[in-house]
Amino acid sequence: MTSFLLGFQTRVSMLHSHPSFHHIPRKTMACLTGRLPIDYGSDNNFDNQILKNIRSGFAVLQSDAQLMDDPVTKFLVDWYAEDGASFEEDFGKSMVRMGRIGSASCGNIRRVCNKFD
């Protein structure tokens, strides 16, 4: 899969060439310095849109793009991109399991994820 993370200007050009981004002026895209949604199309919702984007070649993070390089993770991306209900159910179960992991004696668990304790 061609990574969409080449250089920032290249990414802006690639984004602007995709029909989903035509409504955003190129000048605005070139000035992006803040938050870039990783799941364009539903950045304010919890759903499987990010997986659909990854599958279509529009992964913002290189680690997400690489999910398509391995047959096992590609299968999972394809599966969950098609079955949003299973994605949400399995994601919830995974979060509960991860919550039981705890932290190492030298670590901590953030109560507010975007702030340091």
Q: How many residues in the chain? A: 117
Q: Evaluate whether residue 41 is within a structural domain.
A: yes
79 versus 7: the higher-pLDDT residue is 79
* Inter-CA distances, 60 with 6, 35, 45, 93, 103, Å: 11, 12, 17, 25, 29
Q: What is the mean pLDDT of the chain?
A: 75
32 versus 84: the higher-pLDDT residue is 84
Domain that holds residue 52: 8-99
Q: Which pTM was predicted?
A: 0.61
Q: Evaluate whether residue 91 is within a structural domain.
A: yes
> Which pLDDT band holds residue 19 (cuts at 50, 70, 90)?
low
Q: Evaluate whether residue 2 is within a structural domain.
A: no
The verdict on whether residue 70 carries a ligand-binding annotation is no
3-41: buried (b, 16+ CB within 10 Å) or exposed (e) per residue? ebbeeeeebbebbeeeeeeeeeeeeebeeeeeeeeebbe
The verdict on whether residue 39 carries a ligand-binding annotation is yes
As given in the structure block, the two tokens for residue 88 are 């949400």
Q: How many domains does the chain have?
A: 1
Q: Evaluate whether residue 112 is within a structural domain.
A: no
Q: Evaluate whether residue 58 is within a structural domain.
A: yes
pLDDT of residue 81: 96
What CATH number does the domain containing 92 carry? 1.10.420
